[in-house]
Structure 1
């Protein structure tokens, strides 16, 4: 039995020693104009964002992923992931799954995670179409009848205990400019709320820790339609700088089974809030890797993104942020978790940032 069906608690000494994490960088304000009640209405989208959060006749099952960057009332920073997946592209036999994790960024020796197969005949929607994915020990659901107001997510599994609300207060990021792209011979959709207000609490060693909303936020990523099989997905937030000019990035690389390899990034300007799609060269390290003692699989710990005359070095603070699902789930193993980033350019002061990565490779 692999670790997918129970809580994974890692021995600190076995993974990290002498690690001093950097202070989380301060981020520039998000001044984009693609708000849900603003300029986004002028875009000729081929889908309705609210329809992807409320079940009608359209097939909208897929990925619902909250990446929360939390400052706790105990003075520590945390990364909390809450992810719900109702199918995995065209992977035969895949089953609905949900997963969650808590990583202490101030002390990354503290890390807990789990993933579960959803029960048979699982439905993520009520008969009225409201998003309600509730299980015995985990849930994600709309806050109220307005599908674009926000989400509540919770977990009661020991050491991965949280209950918080995420609000759609940040301007929308439409992946690939209009929120859709061709993948695997079909149409896929992806949009994000990069910096939504986050309120609630979680537990550390059994003690309640409140989320400090003014120093916390979450990135909600919504994907449905045709999905990638083997891929690297990286989302990043950057501190203010005089030369980078980017506040938010969502980078993709995948091996398309129909149209060949794809690489691009959707970036948001820190100067005027405008979004653009840019070509990149994204590579995963083949030397800085971690080998799972359970499966023998290698997981990269470092990624490099080349963008024009700059380089982004993306690194993981823990090597074991992996999901190694049981074979009967139909899901391949993947690396998924928090990352730091350092942007460099000749003659310029390096720029720091942070985010999350998701990498899945089907051999």
Structure 2
């Protein structure tokens, strides 16, 4: 039976509980599992009538803002689980780059944000190449010369936030909103494609000790996005975005979800989810309802206030209760280009009424105070 959202939210706020659906949340260890069932991710979109060349889509798009982003879910040689974020975005003459390490096991968090105005930063990221290096402190690019759709590497040598990760583009492409990954985003036309669970190797440093990644229990979600301004004025809307990895009892598979919610000045609230069942085809679903509830967290750095719990209902009746596991997961440069990038857990019920559980990440950028 589908719940009444308003009644459920009120009850949850009153009781301080977040999973009255009768289903449990996963707990650490989360058993991160890579999917490496394709040898060439470009082949998963062959034949699609894309209006861009996928094989060169990791290169810097001209006359656009560009973003290359990863969230890596890792099991380390110290038997801890980690979420590592690495991101660079190109905004006209300025590039922001940032990273964070969240120790899921011990619930400790470190992060950095910085910027570069180097005029030649993307000189090696054209015509299918992708290779960005900043002052020997940050790297994001392809490991194979001339091919940026098979394997990528990102690393940070920033003191306190050190990692070096290589990941295969080995999971079928998830095209947000379906074919092509196009959607209107304020005065911009956005393209976003994702590779949700690529096999990952490498290291990170925690408390002065190098931790080696277990590639059989680690994966990386890679997100490539670029935005072309189509209107004469305006800006990108505020947004909440979820990356979710979901399981239900009767299905021996993991469904991966990219879920967007934002308010557009012209068209109002936009909210939808692109779902990729393991071994299946991408399905786009409207989000019927979306609400935050319960406690919030206010950053002492920016005074931004972030929700910590959300209730979501998809078009087919799937109900998801999503919660951040640790409040302080804000990352950025010091008060500019800041967002919340938090590890979350999920409980809920599928359209057929079975329990669903999972984990993932929420991005809130920028927040509403």
TM over 0.5, shorter chain: yes
Separation of aligned partners in 2, 1:118 and 1:219:
25
Residue 326 (structure 1) shift: 4.2
Aligned twin of 1:12:
none
Offset at residue 254 of structure 1 (A):
1.2
For the aligned residues, what is the CA RMSD?
2.9
Write the distance in 2 (CA, Å) between the matches of 1:334 and 1:359: 6
2:248–2:350 CA contact under 8 A, matched in 1: no
Output the CA distance in 2 between the equivalents of 1:206 and 1:73. Answer: 14
The answer on 1:299 being equivalent to 2:306 is yes
- For residues 60 and 98 of structure 1, the distance between their equivalents in structure 2, rounded to whole angstroms, comes to 17
1:147 deviation in Å? 1.4
- Measured after TM superposition, the shift of residue 244 of structure 1 is 10
1:211 corresponds in structure 2 to: 213
Q: What is the TM-score with the length of structure 2 in the denominator?
A: 0.81
Residue of structure 2 equivalent to 1:354 = 359
Rate the CA distance shift 1:345–1:149 in 2: closer, same or farther, 3 A: closer
Checking the alignment, whether the CA contact within 8 Å between 1:32 and 1:274 is kept in structure 2 is: no
Q: How many corresponding residue pairs?
A: 333
Tell me, in whole angstroms, the C-alpha distance in 2 between the residues paired with 1:43 and 1:231.
28
Comparing 124-133 with 274-283, greater Cα deviation is found at 124-133
Higher mean alpha-carbon deviation, 216-225 vs 252-261, is at: 252-261
Alignment partners' CA distance in 2, 1:250 and 1:180 = 14
Q: From 51, 63, 78, give the equivalent of 2:82.
A: 78
User: Residues 262-303 of structure 1: CA distance to partner in whole angstroms, max 9, x if unpaired?
Assistant: 110000124x51111000145352542012223332111112
Aligned mates of 2:47, 2:351 — CA distance in 1:
39
Is 1:260 equivalent to 2:268 in the alignment? yes
| 1:200 counterpart (189, 199, 202) | 202
Structure 2 unaligned spans of 5+: 1-24, 230-235
Which residue does the alignment assign to 1:126?
124
Post-superposition offset of 1:144: 1.7
TM-score by length of 1: 0.82
Query: 4+ runs of 1 displaced by more than 6 Å?
Result: 31-34, 243-246
Deviates more, 1:160-169 or 1:222-231: 222-231
